[in-house]
A and B are shown apart, each in its own frame.
Chain A
Amino acid sequence: AQKITQTQPGMFVQEKEAVTLDCTYDTSDPSYGLFWYKQPSSGEMIFLIYQGSYDQQNATEGRYSLNFQKARKSANLVISASQLGDSAMYFCAMSLHTGKLIFGQGTTLQVKP
């Protein structure tokens, strides 16, 4: 069964520090995509970063990087130099060949000043 698991319902981080949000996935498909989305309190879903199952290198986008460990089936999001505006809910998602996105339960991140 295809599944995404985010085990941290809530996380705190001090401003300017780095934080890792955990995500594990389960699929038997050889080809899949892994995504992270940010949902601030205003409610919109903002795409952050993508990692393909065949990508050899970890994806990076500015302060976001994805720590992809295929053997462990994990795709953790690392946010460096946290800012107050990073406070939001973060969703890990997996895409299959049908285009269907399967989401995790989400992690609420609060950045402390």
Chain B
Amino acid sequence: DTAVSQTPKYLVTQMGNDKSIKCEQNLGHDTMYWYKQDSKKFLKIMFSYNNKELIINETVPNRFSPKSPDKAHLNLHINSLELGDSAVYFCASSQAIADQETQYFGPGTRLLVL
């Protein structure tokens, strides 16, 4: 019954590796997002997709590549991981793109790069 789910929950990896985080929502929403929460708890949007189309692409290094195979899924692939990529990554979804739409968040993926 989980609305927005992410896998894995924890990810510990070495610098230079490539890793992926998966996100799925069963709310029937059209829009999905990736946010990054840094060590100071600051949250910032990275990407958003609407109906599999990229809408928002913030100033994120191109080592980060989102992929949306369908409306219910938004994955995040990270190449050549760096120490500074250590953070909590949240997936979220909303019914549509609009300022009044509530975004529902997944449980987060805690990434630690050693």
> What chain A residues lie within 8 Å of B103 (beta carbons)?
35, 47, 95, 99, 101
Interface residues of chain B: helix, strand, loop or mixed (majority): strand
* Residue from A32, A47, A102 within 8 A of B102 (CB atoms): A47
For B45, list chain A residues within 8 Å (CB). Answer: 100-102
Count: A-B pairs, CB below 8 Å: 78
Docked pose: A90 CA to B14 CA in angstroms: 32
Inter-chain contacts of B48 with A (CB < 8 A): 98-100
Size of interface on B: residues with Cβ below 8 Å to A = 30
Residues on A with beta carbons closer than 8 Å to the beta carbon of B108: 43-45
Top 6 nearest A-B pairs (CB, nearest first) are A45-B105, A99-B97, A103-B43, A33-B99, A95-B99, A33-B100
Binding site for A on B (CB under 8 A): 31, 33, 35, 40-45, 48, 50, 55-56, 88, 90, 92, 94, 96-105, 107-108, 110
